[in-house]
């Protein structure tokens, strides 16, 4: 065999291997692209301005070109590069699609239950040093469900069955263990901020003998949205611990969205509004913020009752952990419309564009006393932080920290909104080019201290806001106008 024939056979063999390799790449690309197309259609990814169908068309075009080049045995090296790069791009698309799906599942999973930590505490100077020494517990009747679970866990874990001495509130029980250090009390940890409001040294005066975490399933809520107009409750909490833990709701905003008219109305209800509290509040009047200690469902139902309008979904943000993401993305910039100096941290925020790190942003969202509009302006500032951070998260520079950001979001946000609705909102925003008209309003009232009784803290002289009925009616009408396309 001469050298020319040998080279010919070697070239033919190499071409055969290249064809087999390209066939393998085409098969791999086909499977991956079909799956990506399935994800795009199923979850409405890129469903704006026909981008989803354009993307699917490009996937099909690459398949056709790759197949044609294999059949005609032309441009084999080019075809190898094309199919390899296309497969990598499709793989990246599948990865990011699954990341979005997994994040949505995590946000929904933490919304499927609420977590309460129940403890047994005594005064610091109490002779009781171990839970086994506790024979009776002071506890309020208005937290009976959690108390029953605490007693059940004490029996199962410690074989203890202490008697219960019923009092009217946790504050009463606390006063009694302070005056008689031989007594112990049950305590729902969500009430600690309430007790600290009447005694700033509360945490330094008590000892914990026993603690247990209680998870309560959240019943699914029947939504009545028509798909184009709906209400979303945004609850802002500022506490340490898991996002599923119950806590006061310091920010209460109803976001009314109409996707047809491209309008969004943000309605703020003061945290100190004196309203009947649904759910665990048994319909008794108290601060709106206290509804959160009975679970986010109580806050939702309370606001539904106040305005006579359904709330279809909720988003709950823990600003303490949420703003930590800001340092991961290298800071954010917001437009500050009023100059102020925060009471905590003593940060000065000038008017105009300000760049914030995580610590500054947390101070920015917490401040209300230095703002002209108090709670209303604080709610607006919090929405600015959320919006700025979301925009930064969506930027290309954040892709390299994708997994860290996903973990941070899952630990600081929870929602009962399904992924399909999230994608509808995102696609609507992208389709409009961000041209939603956003307005805000706040219900008003008259504040007083010690004039109105609190259901959760009946013996405390708390600041309450009696809502103006005309303001409530006007606020409701504005939301209705947006929902019905008139606003």
Express each pLDDT in 155-200 by its tens digit.
999 999 999 999 999 999 999 999 999 999 999 999 999 999 889 9
* Domain stop point among 110, 127, 154: 110
Domain match, 456 and 472 both: yes
Give the domain extent around 158. Answer: 113-217
Express each pLDDT in 141-157 by its tens digit.
889 999 999 999 999 99
What integer pLDDT is reported at residue 343 of this predicted model?
84
What integer pLDDT is reported at residue 390 of this predicted model?
75
* Res. 5 pLDDT band, cuts 50 70 90: low
Q: Is residue 19 part of a domain?
A: yes
Is residue 449 over pLDDT 90?
A: yes
What integer pLDDT is reported at residue 274 of this predicted model?
98
Domain match, 284 and 370 both: yes
Q: Quote the percentage of the chain above a pLDDT of 70.
A: 92
What integer pLDDT is reported at residue 183 of this predicted model?
97
Is residue 10 over pLDDT 60?
A: no
Domain match, 334 and 301 both: yes
Looking at per-residue pLDDT, the higher value among 161 and 3 belongs to 161
Q: Is residue 178 part of a domain?
A: yes
| Mean pLDDT across 215-225 | 71
| Mean pLDDT across 446-468 | 93
What integer pLDDT is reported at residue 206 of this predicted model?
97
Is residue 453 over pLDDT 80?
A: yes
Domain match, 311 and 419 both: yes
Domain match, 22 and 152 both: no
Domain match, 248 and 201 both: no
* Domain stop point among 57, 89, 110: 110
Looking at per-residue pLDDT, the higher value among 302 and 236 belongs to 302
Domain match, 352 and 468 both: yes
* Domain stop point among 110, 138, 170: 110
Domain match, 239 and 136 both: no
What integer pLDDT is reported at residue 54 of this predicted model?
95
Express each pLDDT in 86-122 by its tens digit.
999 999 999 989 988 988 888 888 888 889 999 999 9
What integer pLDDT is reported at residue 262 of this predicted model?
85
Least confident of 10-14, 81-85, 126-130, 234-238: 10-14
pTM of the predicted model, to two decimals?
0.84
Domain match, 273 and 329 both: yes
| Mean pLDDT across 446-470 | 93
* Res. 250 pLDDT band, cuts 50 70 90: confident
* Res. 396 pLDDT band, cuts 50 70 90: low
CATH number, residue 390: 3.40.630.190
Q: Is residue 406 part of a domain?
A: yes
Q: Is residue 224 part of a domain?
A: no
Q: How many domains does the chain have?
A: 3
Least confident of 176-180, 360-364, 419-423: 419-423
Average pLDDT over the chain reads 88
What integer pLDDT is reported at residue 432 of this predicted model?
66
Q: Is residue 223 part of a domain?
A: no
Q: Quote the percentage of the chain above a pLDDT of 90.
A: 56
Domain match, 327 and 465 both: yes
What integer pLDDT is reported at residue 407 of this predicted model?
76
CATH number, residue 166: 3.40.190.10
Domain match, 152 and 266 both: no
Q: Is residue 405 part of a domain?
A: yes
What integer pLDDT is reported at residue 19 of this predicted model?
80
Domain match, 357 and 412 both: yes
Q: Is residue 222 part of a domain?
A: no
| Mean pLDDT across 65-72 | 92
What integer pLDDT is reported at residue 424 of this predicted model?
80
SS (H, E, C) the chain: CCHHHHHHHHHHHHHHHHHHHHHHHHHHHHHHHHHHHHHHHHHCCCCCCCHHHHHHHHHHHHHHHHHHHHHHCCCHHHHHHHHHHHHHHHHHHHHHHHHHHHHHHHHHHHCCEEEEEEEEEEECCCCCCCHHHCCEEEEEHHHHHHHHHHHHHHHHHHCCCCEEEEECCHHHHHHHHHHCCCCCEEEEHHHHHHHHHHCCCHHHCEEEEEEEEEEEECCCCCCCCCCCEEEEEEEEECCCCCCCECCCCCEEEEEEEECCCCEEEEEECCCCEEEECCHHHCCCEEEHHHHHHHCHHHHHHHHHHHHCCCCCEEEEEEHHHHCCHHHHCCCEEEEECCCEECCCCCCEECCEEEEECHHHHHHHHHCCCCCCCCHHHHHHHHHHHHHHHHHHHCCHHHHHHHHHHHHHHHHHEEECCCHHHHHHHHHHHHHCCCCCEEEEEECCEEEEECCCCCCCCCCCCCEEEEECHHHHHHHHHHHHHHHCCCC
Q: Is residue 87 part of a domain?
A: yes
């Amino acid at each position: 065999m001469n050298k020319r024939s040998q080279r010919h056979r070697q070239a033919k063999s190499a071409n055969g291997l290249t064809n087999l390799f390209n066939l393998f790449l085409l098969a791999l690309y086909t499977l991956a692209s079909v799956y990506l197309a399935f994800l795009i259609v199923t979850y409405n990814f890129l469903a704006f301005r026909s981008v989803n169908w354009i993307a699917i068309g490009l996937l099909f075009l690459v398949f056709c070109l790759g197949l044609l080049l294999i059949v005609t045995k032309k441009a084999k090296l080019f075809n190898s590069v094309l199919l390899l790069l296309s497969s990598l791009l499709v793989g990246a698309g599948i990865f990011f699609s699954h990341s979005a799906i997994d994040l949505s599942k995590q946000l929904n999973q933490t919304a499927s239950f609420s977590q309460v930590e129940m403890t047994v505490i005594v005064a610091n100077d109490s002779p009781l040093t171990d839970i086994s020494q506790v024979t009776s517990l002071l506890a309020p009747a208005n937290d009976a469900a959690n108390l029953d679970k605490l007693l059940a866990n004490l029996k199962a874990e410690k074989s203890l069955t202490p008697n219960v001495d019923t009092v009217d509130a946790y504050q009463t029980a606390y006063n009694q263990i302070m005056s008689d250090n031989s007594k112990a009390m049950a305590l729902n940890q969500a009430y600690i901020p309430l007790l600290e409001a009447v005694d700033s040294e509360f945490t330094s005066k008590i000892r914990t003998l026993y603690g247990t975490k209680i998870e309560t399933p959240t019943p699914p809520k029947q939504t009545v949205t028509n798909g184009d107009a709906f209400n979303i409750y945004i609850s802002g909490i500022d506490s340490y611990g898991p996002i599923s833990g119950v806590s006061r709701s310091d920010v209460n905003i109803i976001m009314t969205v109409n996707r047809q008219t491209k309008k969004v109305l943000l309605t703020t209800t003061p945290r100190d509004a004196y309203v009947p509290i649904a759910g665990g509040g048994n319909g008794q009047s108290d601060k709106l913020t206290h509804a959160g200690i009975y679970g986010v469902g109580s806050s939702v139902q309370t606001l539904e009752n106040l305005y006579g309008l359904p709330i279809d979904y909720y988003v709950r943000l823990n600003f303490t952990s949420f703003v930590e993401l800001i340092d991961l993305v290298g800071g954010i910039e917001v437009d500050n419309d009023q100059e102020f100096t925060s009471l905590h941290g003593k940060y000065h925020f000038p008017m105009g564009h300000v760049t914030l790190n995580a610590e500054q942003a947390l101070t920015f969202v917490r401040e209300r006393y230095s703002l002209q509009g108090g709670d209303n302006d604080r709610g607006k500032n919090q929405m600015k932080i959320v919006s700025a951070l979301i925009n930064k998260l969506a930027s290309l520079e954040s892709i390299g920290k994708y997994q860290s950001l996903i973990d941070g979001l899952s630990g600081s946000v929870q929602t009962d909104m399904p992924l399909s609705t999230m994608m509808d909102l995102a696609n609507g925003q992208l389709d409009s080019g961000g041209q939603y008209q956003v307005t805000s309003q706040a219900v008003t009232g008259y504040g007083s201290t010690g004039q109105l009784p609190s259901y959760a803290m009946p013996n405390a002289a708390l600041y309450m806001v009696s809502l103006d009925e005309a303001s409530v009616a006007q606020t409701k009408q504005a939301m209705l106008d947006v929902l019905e396309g008139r606003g």
